[in-house]
Amino acid sequence: MPQRIKTKELLADALKQLMADASIEQLGIQQICDVCGVHRKTFYYYFQNKYDLLNWIFYHECIEPLFRQKPESFEKAVESIVRKVDLDRAFYTNAFRIAPETCFGNTFSNSFQDYFIEQVKELLILYGLPHLPQPHLVEKETYETYYTDTLAGSLMGNVQQWLLEQPQLSVEQYLELLKTTSCFQKRKCTSEEERSAQKGLFFPFRRGGIALLGRQGLWYTFSET
C-alpha cells in the first residue's frame, strides 16, 4: 500500500475514533493529528480541512469499492453502502448531524449530506438511468437531472432518518424497510398513471415521495418513509 494511503488511513481512523463520541464541529485538526501521530503540516498536504477528510473516508470505504467491483445492480450497491455505514454507525450518525454554516449572512455547506447525494448520483450514472417518459415542458437533460437529484436526495434522507430517528432498527430491519418503501419498490403502473407520465406529470406519494416511469412500465417510487 502506498505511503500516502497509509497516512490518509491513519488520519481517517483517528477521525472515526473521535467522532464516535463527538461532533466534527467540536474537533480540531491538532486533535486528529495527536491521536494518530501525524504532523499537522502532513494533514494539510493531503486534506483541505476536517470535512474533506470526512468525505474521503466515505468515498474510500463505501463508494470507491463499488466502482472497482460494480455489484450486479444499483440496489446491491446501495445495500453495500448501508452495511458499511452500519459498521461505523456512531461515526456516520454524527456525520449526518452536520448542518450548513452561516457566515456574514451567507450560507455555505460543509454538509456530509450533500456529498452523500453527489456520490449516489455518480452511482446512478454508472448503472444507467431507466427509460423515462419524454417530457413536454422541460428539456430531457433537465428531466434526468431532476430524476437523479430526487432519487439521491430521497435515499440520503432515508438513511439519515434511520440513523438519527430510528436507531433501534438493525441493519437487516432497515434494509427490509428500504426495499419495500423506498427506491427499490417497483409496481405495474395503472393506465391512468401511464397517461399522466407521458404528459410529464408526477404522481405524489405519502410524505412527499414521487413516482417516475421506469423500465418495462414499472414505477420507481421514492419516499421519505
pLDDT digits over 9-43, tens only? 999 999 999 999 999 999 999 999 999 999 999 99
Give the range among 109-123, 165-179, 208-222 with minimum mean pLDDT. 208-222
Which pLDDT belongs to residue 206? 34
Name the pTM for this structure: 0.77
More confident residue, 71 or 145: 71
Domain ranges of the chain: 1-47, 48-222
Cβ contact 73:127 at 8 Å: yes
Beta bridge partners of 213: 219
Which pLDDT belongs to residue 215? 34
Which pLDDT belongs to residue 137? 74
Which pLDDT belongs to residue 1? 67
Helices (H), 38-165: 40-46, 50-58, 64-69, 74-87, 89-95, 112-127, 140-165
Locate cell 493531503: which residue?
46
Does 49 score more than 80 pLDDT?
yes
How far apart (Å, rounded) are the C-alpha atoms in residues 32 and 58?
Answer: 17
Does 138 score more than 60 pLDDT?
yes
Does 72 score more than 80 pLDDT?
yes
Which pLDDT belongs to residue 135? 65
Q: Three cell numbers at 87?
A: 459498521
Domain 1-47 fold is: Arc Repressor Mutant, subunit A (1.10.10)
For 77-128, write each residue's pLDDT tens digit. Answer: 999 999 999 999 999 999 999 876 533 344 445 589 999 999 999 998 888 8
pLDDT bin (cut points 50, 70, 90) of residue 202 is very low
